[in-house]
A and B are shown apart, each in its own frame.
Chain A
Amino acid sequence: MTAIRERLGNGWKQLGSMIGLVLIVLIVSALNADFLTINNLLNVLRQVSINALIAFGMTFVILTGGIDLSVGSMLALSSAVVAQLMAKGVSFYPALLIGIVAGAIMGAFNGIMITKGKVAPFIATLATLTIFRGFTLVYTDGSPITGMSNDFSFQLFGKGYMFGIPVPVVTMLVVFLFLLFVLKKTVFGRQTYAIGGNEEASILAGIKVDRIKVIIYSISGALSALAGIILISRLNSADPNAGTSYELDAIAAVVLGGTSLSGGKGSIWGTLIGALIIGVLNNGLNLLNVSPFYQLVVKGFVILLAVLIDRKKS
């Protein structure tokens, strides 16, 4: 047993999540024939993509031993900015860029508070969760922004298809591959793990821990913004209350993917699987006509179960 585990090494944890995903897929498809249709699966993927994007950023944050509770508010504020710009006639790509930069700046603010201000990540992002949400309400006057142009690429971004695959899914996969590369193959990725593994040793090894953390929180902000822009394209409006409690699904995806909340261990692969588990679960429960109230209960128990099984293994 130990020998197997040793050989699998880090892959072991992902294997666990993978088995979990397969099990849930099997159960859901056995209970409802509609689940395993191409259409429905693409639908699941499209729903997953928003949470997955946020969860990818969260993975980096959690790998360094931090947490980002403000993702939902960053999503709302940056997507409101984009919506406003587009309503004023700015074309999509410049607006997209500005939105992502806005997200990154908000994330950088988190990062600076955490590193230079030495505020605990939980507290810092809890505060900005309210601050950014407040700004969103101020900015939008509390009502949704509509009347965005019928810009073709904007419409495509949330609703379109590319080679038969929903564009949000393509976006999510591109980001996934890029981050997978960053985490596995680059100095930045290795340093991310190092910081979570032992921050003191990392500083003493000359790693610019503060800078890396600020970058990571910025990534989290930028990805939340990206997710938000997909959302407004799909809904054709920017709701000031969009993204409320999205941090919970994102954290759940990371944890289900086997990333340790104390940092240093985990993978972006795991997070993708974790996000898929949540997506399949949501979709399955809908197909099975489970009431939304019970859905919450089931989801919560699945997360607990996954973590409990994980505990037993190590």
Chain B
Amino acid sequence: MQIQLKNISKSFAKNQVLHRVDFTLESGEVHALMGENGAGKSTLMKILTGVYTQDEGHVLIDGKETRFKNVKEVEEKGIAFIHQELNIFPNLTVAENLFLGHEEKIGHTGILKTKQMEQKTEEYLAGLGLSVKASKLAGSLSVGQQQMIEIAKALRLQAQVIIMDEPTAALTDREIQILFSLIEKLKKQGVSFVYISHRMEEIFEVCDKITILRDGQYIATKQVKDTTFDEVVYMMVGRSIGDRYPVRSGHKQSDVFLEVKDLTRRGAFENISFHVKKGEILGVAGLMGAGRTEIMKAIFGYESIHSGEIWINGDRVSIRKPSDAIRYGLGFITEDRKSEGLILDFSIQENMVLPILKQFQSLFVISKQREKSFVHKMIKKLNIKTTNETQQVKSLSGGNQQKVVLAKWLGLMPDCLILDEPTRGVDVGAKKEIYSLMQELADQGVAIIVVSSDLPEVLGISDRIMVISEGKVGGFVDKQDATGEKIMNLATGGK
């Protein structure tokens, strides 16, 4: 199947986000769509699949003009779309999610073949290297596992074209490798892919062609083998960004800020002990589902613990709820921005000031003026692409949403900032900005804990790396002798 997008333009209100963009997908190719946050990648794919209607231009499928009215039509045509924001129903089981809208029934009775669907589900997931019970509630899975379910949904459709909007943002190396070998296999059968990702290594590993957008403009289409990393970045950003990781200007060793002793929550993690010093960046690596997020949530008082101690600045503290943690100077950027980080119906401004509202209050009244000037400062500092501060965060591009979450916690000026997958879905330029920001904070004496599934990232930014393996501390690695191999070894327990 060949898909052609010609001259596509699209505006939201007065904000034109696509300007006469062209894009062609041939059968059997893996075609990367690249661009900064807010460049219009997701919007373009949503126009292709009829979620949005273009203001101008044509969608041609095998040369025939097409306009989809609903998801069913798209699926019938053999196109599957894995959205950037997960569409998992947390209160349904894994199998129910997978078969939603395509349930297998006994004849026309409406009686579900639950057992059969669950069995098939487990087969599909096993093919993706994931062993979870199909009867488990999807909400109880990690974001990464939920992402794999989304991928399995597309596979089940046996689509001819699969659009993946940042499929690997929540995945760790192992799952990514499984995904890639799957893509290779399907490609040989003539299936084509649109692949959107901000992880440059992946693009060069799995894609054949790259189309680049910048600010809604079509820039170029290149064969992967004819281009370089730097050239792609240059075309995306419009300038050179230099090294991917800012140079760490040798951090000063200082006092321990946070120390965790024998933290245990049965069934999730056991005997977790570690510390982080003021001004240190501690990376936390591990496989999907190793328990990293749960540990961080427990430290922040959002999940209970069965035993263990938390010490801050040399004093033992009791953190029962997030507001306690905040009082002790902790900040926590959660991994799932949609359900835990943002209030989607709120504006950028309202989201950003949420933890620090009291700072803008004088005599019970929130000063809108002070609030606004803080928000403007943050929008500028983090380079957030938006029309203005009253824009609802749900209409921001994914990467810009992530920046809003970041801004929210920076305002609190924490002594220790925990970041769980802070660059998920963030473009190269913005990633570097976030890294620089982390260093800047560390240089000011903030203790930083950064959980990341992006191995090159952990290696690039951490002073020290803690590896979590199946709910236990697998080991620590210093920056000097950290390699990807060493970390993977610790993460898998040598398996």
Contacts and interface: CB of A to CB of B under 8 A. Distances in A.
A208 B323 CA distance: 7
Contacts of A198: 339-340, 342-344
A30 interface: no
Interface string B173-216: 00000000000000000000000000000000000000000000
B343 A206 contact: no
A167 B306 CA distance: 57
Contacts of B321: 203, 208
A194 B358 contact: no
B323 A3 contact: no
A265 B346 CA distance: 9
Interface string B332-358: 101000011111111000100011011
Interface in B302-322: 302, 321-322
Q: Which DSSP category, helix, strand, loop or mixed, fits chain B's interface?
A: mixed
Nearest to A188: B364
Interface in A170-204: 185-187, 190-191, 193-194, 197-198, 200-204
Contacts of A9: 390
Given A3-B14, A186-B361, A200 B346 contact: no
What size tier do the contact residues of chain B reach? 20 to 34
Interface in A198-245: 198, 200-208
A6 interface: yes
Contacts of A206: 322-323, 325-326, 355
A274 B357 CA distance: 30
A120 B343 CA distance: 22
A205 B365 contact: no
What size tier do the contact residues of chain A reach? 20 to 34
- Residue with the highest number of chain B CB atoms closer than 10 Å, among A201, A202, A206, A264: A206
A208 B322 CA distance: 9
Contacts of A197: 343-346
Interface string A1-19: 0110010010000000000
B126 interface: no
**10 A-B pairs closest in CB distance:** A197-B343, A206-B326, A206-B323, A205-B355, A198-B343, A205-B354, A187-B357, A185-B365, A206-B355, A200-B340
Given A194-B343, A204-B340, A206-B323, 13 more contacts: A3-B13, A3-B14, A6-B13, A9-B390, A185-B364, A187-B364, A190-B366, A193-B346, A194-B346, A197-B346, A201-B343, A203-B321, A205-B354
Interface of B: 13-14, 300, 302, 321-323, 325-326, 332, 334, 339-346, 350, 354-355, 357-358, 361, 364-366, 390, 408
15 contacts: A2-B13, A3-B13, A191-B357, A194-B346, A197-B343, A197-B344, A197-B345, A198-B342, A201-B342, A201-B343, A203-B302, A203-B321, A204-B300, A205-B355, A205-B408
